[in-house]
Each structure stands twice: as C-alpha cells, then as structure tokens.
Amino acid sequence: MSGTPERSTRDAEEQHATNRGTPYAPHTDVEVDAMLESIGAGDIDALFDIPDSVQFDGELAISGASEQAVIRRLTETLAQNADDTEFLGRGHYSHYVPSIVDHLSFRSEFITSYTQYQPEITQGFLQALFEYQSLLVELTGLEVANCSMYDAATALGEAATLAARVRGTSGSRVLVPDYVRAERRAVLENYVTGVGLVVEEFPTEDGVTTPEAVGRVLDDDVVMVYVESPTTEGIIEEHLAEIGDLVAERDALFCLGSDPVALALLRSPASLGVDIVTGDASVLGLSASYGMGLGLFACREEYLRQVPGRLIGASEDADGNRAFTLTLQTREQHIRRERATSNICTNQAWIALRAAIHAASLGPSGLVSLAKRCHALAERTAARLDEIDGVSAPVHDRYHFREFAARTDGDARAIGAAMRDDGFAVHVLDGETIQICVTDVNEHRVDEFVRSLEEATH
Amino acid sequence: MQRHTQAVWDDTESDGYEPLLSEKGLETAEVGETGLPDELTRDSLELPALSEPELARHYTRLSQMNYGIDSGPYPLGSCTMKYNPKFTEEIAGLSAASVHPDRDAESVQGTLEIYHELQGYLAEIGGMDAVSLQPPAGSAGEFAGILVAKAYHEANGEGDERTEVIVPTSAHGTNFASAALAGYDVVELPDDADGRVDLNALSAAVGDSTAALMLTNPNTLGLFERNIEEIAAMIHEAGGLLYYDGANLNALLGRARPGDMGFDIMHYNVHKTFATPHGGGGPGAGPIGVNEDLAPFLPTPQVREEDGAYELFEPARSVGKVHGAMGNWLVLLKAHAYISRLGGAGLRDASAKAVLNANYLASQIDLEIPFGPFHHEFVASAGEQDAADFAKRMLDYGVHPPTTKWPEIVSEALMTEPTEAESKKTLEQVADAFDAVRGDAESSDSSSPERIAAGRIDQTSAARTPRLSWQRIHEE
C-alpha cells in the first residue's frame, strides 16, 4: 500500500458545500430531470452500463473541501519545505523567468487548449511552436528540431532508438561517458532494451572526454556515442570535433547533451559533427520544479522521417496565406501505431511556449549575456572557494559553465549538512566532493555561501 | 444558432497572418570576449530582438488565434477536455512548489507529503495497491506499466516465453507503440459486432506467449466492456496481466475501479481526469497503479511515510526510471488540488454529469450513432459526408469539432466527448452545430472554415515540402 488517503479534519460546512456535486458542472436539478426525460432514463444511475459485480458501491475515502481550504492546506504543506537557497544543478537549473512569460503563457486560449489537430482554429499555438523549433535550429545549427519531449533523459532515450533505426548496419552498443547522471542513464537503459541495445560507459580524463578514450571502445557495433557539454559537473568539453570525426568514421551517430543557454555561448554543435542534440530546454521558461523538464531534440535533416515527436510545418491556407500545421504525422503513434518512431503523444508543448517567450524576451544579446554570466560565475565562484583552507576548486582544471565540483579535506557529508543549517543546499557527490551551481537566481547570495562553506570546513 | 468568428491579425507585409518573431526583427549579437578559447565558442548568435511591449502584442495576438476550453465547447473524443479550475495555478505558482529534485528529503517534507498523498488518492480511485507518479504523460505511463509487466514475467522465469501484448483494434495508437517500445510483439484483437472485445477472438489470441492485454474501459466507442470479469479470468488463467488504459477514467470515478475489475496495472491521465490544463499538447502526467504483487517492480524512487516523516525509497525489484527526475510535478500538484477540492463525492458526481451529458448530446444529434448505451463519449457517423470536411465546417459554429475518422469501426467517425463541464444549453448549441453542418452538405466542402483565423490549410504540401523553421522560410 503506497499510502492511505488521510481523512480530513476540514469543517463539515466546507464538505457539505462540495458533497452536493462537482462545482465544475453547471447543471441545475431541473435541467438534469429534463435531460433524463429526454434520454428516456429514470435516473443517472440507469445510464451506467456496469455489471453489479464490478460496481463500486462504497465511497471513495477522499474528502472534499472549499477552494479556499484547499489553497490554505496546500500552501501550508508546501511551507514545510525548508526555504533553502539552492546551489544545485547537475542537469536541473533555475534561471530568473521574466514576469511576462507567466502573463503571456497563462492566457487561457493557450493553456486550456489541446494538441492542434484542427490547425485552422489553433494557428496561434502552432506558430509559437514553429518559432520554438526555429530558435533551436539557430542554437544547434541542425536543420530540424521537434516541438518538445518530456525531459533530457527521455530525449536521450529517443535519440538512441533513432540511431538504431537510421544506421545502415546493425549494432548493439550505445556509449556514454562516466559522468552521466545515474537517473539519465537509467532512463536511457529502459528506452533501449526493447530495441536490443546495451549502454556502456567509457572513462573520462580529468573531467572531459578524450578522442583516445572513445577510440578505445569504438567499433562497428556502436550505434551512438553520447557526450555532454557542459557535462554533469559543468565542464565544457574540449575535443568534440575530433570525437565527431571518429564517430562518423564508424557510421555511428554522435549525440550531444546540452541546453539552450549554454548553446548561446558554445560553438554550434552542427559545426562539430554532432548529429543529434538532446537536453533540457526548460532552463528557459521554467524553474527547477522538482525536475519537471522540457526535452530538447534537434537533428540533421536526413533523419527527418525518423524523428520522434511532433513537428510543426509551414504551409498555405485556402487564401494563399502562410499558415502552420502539425506535419509528417505518418511517423506518429496515432497513425503508425507499433511502427511509429516513438510512443510520445502528450508532450511539453506549453513549456516549449514558455521557453520561446523567455528566449524572445532576452533576445540574442540577453541570451549571450546570460550564457557568459553562467561561465563567469562558475569560474569566479570556484576561484573564491579555492582560497578557503581545506577546499580545492574546481576539482578539474577545465572550463566551467554554471557549476563545478570542489574537493574538501573534511567530510563532505558533514559540510553539506552544516551548510544546510545555514540555509544552503549543495550536492554532496561522495565523501570528499561537493558540487556547486551558480546562476542569476542565487548569485546575490554567493558571499554568504562562501562564508558558510568556510565555517563548515573549520 | 451560435456562430463564431476568430480574431485574426492579418499582415500584408508578411506572407501570412501575424508575422513571425523573426520577421518582427532579427538581430545578431556578437559574442565577443568570453575568457574561453575561441575554438570552443561561437562568434555570434542571430535571434529575434523585441521589446517587451512588442512581445506582449505578438503573443496576445497569437493567443487570440487559438481556441481553448475557456473559449468554448471542445468535445474532442477521448481527450477529455473539461474546464480547468483556476485556483490550482495559484498553488503551482508558489515558490515553495518549485524545489530542485536533488534536495534532501528532510528539507522538502511538504512536497513529499503531497506527493505521497496523491499516490494514496490515486490508489483509492483506481482500486490499486501502489502508485508511481513518475511517468510524465499517459503513453509514458503505458510504457512504464509494460516495463513493470515485463519485469514481473522475468522474475517468474517467463521473460523469454511471454513475448506478446494483445491490443484491441480500436485502442489508442499509443498502446501499440508503447508495447513495441518495450520490445513486445503486438497482437491485434478485432472488436465484435457490438463494438466490444470479441471473446472468441480473445480466446484465440491469448496463450502462453501472452504478457498482457491492454484495454480501455469504457472503450473508445464509449461502451463499457461488460464481460470484463470473463476477460480478466481468460488473461489471468493464461498467466498474462491485464493493463488498464486510463484515458476514459472520467466515466467511472466512484462508480467502478479498475483494480476491482481485475486489472493488474493501470495508468491515469491526470491532466484529463483531474482537470489540469492540457497546455496546447502538454505537459500532462501519467502515474501508474499496480496490484500488490507488482508493487516491488515500480519505478524508483517511490515516496513512503515512516514515523511521520516522508522519504524516498527504491522498490525491491524496481524497473528503474522512466523520467530523469520525479515526473511532471506541477501537473501532479494541480491534480492533487483538484481531487482534494472535489473529494470522493464530487468526483463521483463529475462522472455522473459527464455520462449524462454524453447521452443527452447523443439524443439531440440527428446523425447515425451506432452502439450504446454510452458512457462519457459516443461515435457518430457523418454518413455520406467526409468527417474531416464536416469538422472544418463545425469550426464556424463556435464548437471545436470531435475527433474525426477514428475509431475506424464507424465510417466517417465523429468521436464526441462533451464532459461534465457543459450546460444543457451549450449541449443543445453543439447539437445545433452538428445538425447545421449536416443540413449544409453543399457548403461543407473545401471552402470551410470561413470565419476562423486561417482558411483551410493544405496539409499535404506541408508534408511533401517540409518547412520546419523560419530559417527555411527566409531562405526562400
């Protein structure tokens, strides 16, 4: 039993207000009677064609409450979360989301709509998603971006199954570097078992992937090589072009994990021989949200008909005006069923809308500035921590983006706990290493953070 | 008769309606000095650059060229587009709701309490023993559920023999795709003449290779599978598992529970059933529920309560993960708010009104509607008319059209699901729209829609010559 619904202590009056029926159905009793008469049914129960033996004749053990009481209860419950300042990253980031993003994305015509199966009446959302795809095309240099998947981990899984489909010769291995988060790797493994692939890890050297390390494990049985930049530890990979050449020689696909803020600064993946970019695009438009994400997926045009997920295309309407529509739907599950390129149906469209509004509100200068700041903040903060006795930062002498690992002489777990007492959350990687992420949302507390770490190490 | 004219911002300077962001102003930002070696960085980035007021108008105009459930009726069959109460957004917008997934359990007890409570609510509603909230959408739930089934058979030493998943012809396409993604062969099960599972066909399909049967109940024709106990017995006797597709759960709340019907695994489309906005195609969330025997296989982590504190744990034989973190948390939070607003009685009433509305609307429409009695949806036939043309004409009447041409068991299908959120009067307007289009066969051709932002869109050429970014448009 995963949990017993808690009997509420809410007052009887509130329950009475809702137990008469759902507040979100507009029927009066008189209307219900008229409708039943028109149908020719004696009562509503007569409309349910459920055999007695499987009818549920109890009462669901969930109490109702007024809107005000629900808001109060959930607000109070969430207030039990410690109000810590998070210096956490490792694939999930918070940047400041401008107020305009909420105001526009919450317009009810956007948020209360469904998938755009009738394009004529959903032009607004289709155009916004087309613009989202275009932003990713610009940032990745690749020709095709889909209009959203769930998160970085599932997008990586989809990339591997695409690689298995498009590769000319069969193969069974997917290679990933040792720094990939366990969660991301676990999702990848679940996505590829059905198509008969295995995931293998290769070692990195001083935090980055070397062509030599990839060369040692690469053979014709490899369908895809995955690398991240920035890596899980925030390191910018330095040898991507050479790795891209090696991967291409074996007719495998080269997949890069990244995100739209980092890509505003880093060299375009397409120019490095990357075939697919995956990652989490919710770094724009959404804060960490307990790991809710927006899967980024972009690839070369030659894989277009094997791309998973939704695609928006430009076409024309009967008046000759440019108009947008879902396109290439013959790849999708609702048409091709078990032969579809993916099972994804509901995706993260609204988060994609938010990411696009956020990117547009920053503009190219704002996005590049934010990216440069993410690099500078990581380097500067690491240098400050390195001055603390008993702390060595960054662990790897590499270029960093947003975050970095720091080695401590003391017990890293105890240090993490002591800092939490000061209201700071950091990753504790192992007995001697912590990881710290700095962005525009926690930058103003770096001084106090440094002091806290200094005290915790002494 | 209600008519609808959609706002449209027509721009003679661009090739289309509201210009693209890129047509409103592209700007190239030079990257300049970065402190990084030049070979690691780009030189420049070209993107739209708009002021905030320009941005506000662009997206406001786009929103006016879009239709949501707040705009009018949206009886899109199987999608359960019902009104979404607004107060849930207030809770999801609290900063305490947006914590990092790597926070220590002790510091996010509030989040874990709500997470745990929702596991319990869903278990109660589904009649299941344990629930995982991790899958980020319905089809992700299907995939997770099938992985659980697979792990269960493997644990019993039957992993190699049980290679097939049975799916009825009329099932959602995701069922087929999810089973295939998990590595199963899909065996298609034809419906019988009454639109339900054909027991003879099932008997022929089921056997030692059966891993699971995936079933939607009520099914996509809106019909309750009355032989569900017999179906469950046939699957279980063969050693297979019974999987419940929760897409149509809105018809059963407080009336029947999948667990009580013999289902071993189910997914919940919380965005449909528990009224969290569909956001133009997502995010949703697709928690899965399982019986006691399957609980050890659920994805990791799970949340449990120990001595008044909430903690994460890994089920003993977990299938691993199907999402990088904890799923679509903000959607789950809204579902919790909706469920605890209505309570068991309110949920039961929601189903009552949804079923009442479907049957009332069906009784008001002058089209052939085979089968019945209906639960929350029905499939009308457009008869001699093309269902797609029929739908386009309906747009002018202020009604989002039904799902068209599916399921294929009904010719020129119009799959209609009004939900509980529509009033008697609105249902009559929807019925008027159906009847007007039917009586208007002459004009329900390629000239419609006439009053919507865009005229009929050429979907064939969009697929033949894909133009998927503004870069492609600007090259032309």
DSSP letter string, A219-251: -TTEEEEEEESS-TTSBPPS-HHHHHHHHHHTT
Q: Which is more confidently placed, B58 or A17?
A: B58
Asked if B474 has any chain A CB less than 8 Å from its own CB, the reply is: no
Q: What local confidence, expressed as pLDDT, does residue A432 receive? A: 97
Could you give the CA distance from residue B305 to residue B120 in angstroms, rounded to a whole number?
11
CB spacing of A109 vs B67 below 8 angstroms: yes
Cβ-proximal residues to B453 (8 Å cutoff; 6+ apart), any chain: A120, A121, A123, A124, B6, B7, B8, B17, B64, B65
Asked if A198 has any chain B CB less than 8 Å from its own CB, the reply is: no
Q: What local confidence, expressed as pLDDT, does residue B193 receive? A: 87
Cβ-proximal residues to A320 (8 Å cutoff; 6+ apart), any chain: none
> Residue A187: its chain B contacts at CB < 8 A?
320-324
> Residue A23: its chain B contacts at CB < 8 A?
85, 341-342, 346
- Restricting to A residues 209-228, those with a Cβ less than 8 Å away from any Cβ of B are none
Instruction: Tell me which residues of chain A have a pLDDT lower than 50.
Output: 1-19
Could you give the CA distance from residue B420 to residue B351 in angstroms, rounded to a whole number?
7
- Restricting to A residues 376-435, those with a Cβ less than 8 Å away from any Cβ of B are 376, 379, 399, 420, 425, 427
Residue B323 near residue A154 (C-beta atoms within 8 A): yes
Q: What local confidence, expressed as pLDDT, does residue B10 receive? A: 85
Could you give the CA distance from residue A218 to residue A174 in angstroms, rounded to a whole number?
10
CB spacing of B226 vs A51 below 8 angstroms: yes
- Restricting to A residues 283-312, those with a Cβ less than 8 Å away from any Cβ of B are 287-293, 304, 310-312
What is the pLDDT averaged over residues B358-384? 94
CB spacing of A315 vs B459 below 8 angstroms: yes
Q: What local confidence, expressed as pLDDT, does residue B66 receive? A: 98
> Residue A186: its chain B contacts at CB < 8 A?
300, 320-321
Disruptive mutation site among B21, B94, B106, B393 for chain A (greatest number of A CBs within 10 Å): B21
What is the pLDDT averaged over residues B352-376? 94
Residue A285 near residue A101 (C-beta atoms within 8 A): yes
CB-nearest partner of B29 from A105, A304, A364? A364
ipTM more than 0.90? yes
Could you give the CA distance from residue A228 to residue A13 in angstroms, rounded to a whole number?
56
Could you give the CA distance from residue A33 to residue A27 in angstroms, rounded to a whole number?
10
Q: What local confidence, expressed as pLDDT, does residue B1 receive? A: 79
**Angle, helix A29-39 to helix B329-364, in steps of 10 degrees:** 50
Could you give the CA distance from residue A364 to residue A376 in angstroms, rounded to a whole number?
18
Q: What distance lies between CA B184 and its chain's CA centroid? A: 23
Q: What local confidence, expressed as pLDDT, does residue A16 receive? A: 42
φ, ψ (nearest 5 deg) of residue B387 = -60, -35
Q: What local confidence, expressed as pLDDT, does residue B12 receive? A: 81
For residue B434, the SS3 value is: helix
Helix (H) or strand (E) holding A84: none
Predicted confidence (pLDDT) per residue in A112-127, tens digit: 999 999 999 999 999 9
Q: What local confidence, expressed as pLDDT, does residue B446 receive? A: 58
End-to-end alpha carbon distance in chain A: 45
> Residue A305: its chain B contacts at CB < 8 A?
none
Predicted confidence (pLDDT) per residue in A127-183, tens digit: 999 999 999 999 999 999 999 999 999 999 999 999 999 987 889 999 999 999 999
Q: What local confidence, expressed as pLDDT, does residue A254 receive? A: 98
Helix (H) or strand (E) holding B231: helix B228-237
**What is the residue type of B240?**
G
Predicted confidence (pLDDT) per residue in B173-187, tens digit: 999 999 999 999 999
Residue B454 has pLDDT above 70, yes or no: yes
Tell the residue number behind the tokens 């070369």, with chain if given.
Answer: A300
Q: Which residues pair with A427 in a beta bridge?
A: A435
Q: What local confidence, expressed as pLDDT, does residue B443 receive? A: 55
Predicted confidence (pLDDT) per residue in B210-269, tens digit: 999 999 999 999 999 999 999 999 999 999 999 999 999 999 999 999 999 999 999 999
Q: What local confidence, expressed as pLDDT, does residue B445 receive? A: 56
A·B CB contacts under 8 A: 689
Separation in Å, CA of B70 to nearest CA in chain A: 6
For residue B304, the SS3 value is: strand
Could you give the CA distance from residue B400 to residue B390 in angstroms, rounded to a whole number?
12
Burial environment of residue A435 by CB neighbours within 10 A (0 to 12, 13 to 18, 19 or more) = buried
Could you give the CA distance from residue A353 to residue A147 in angstroms, rounded to a whole number?
9
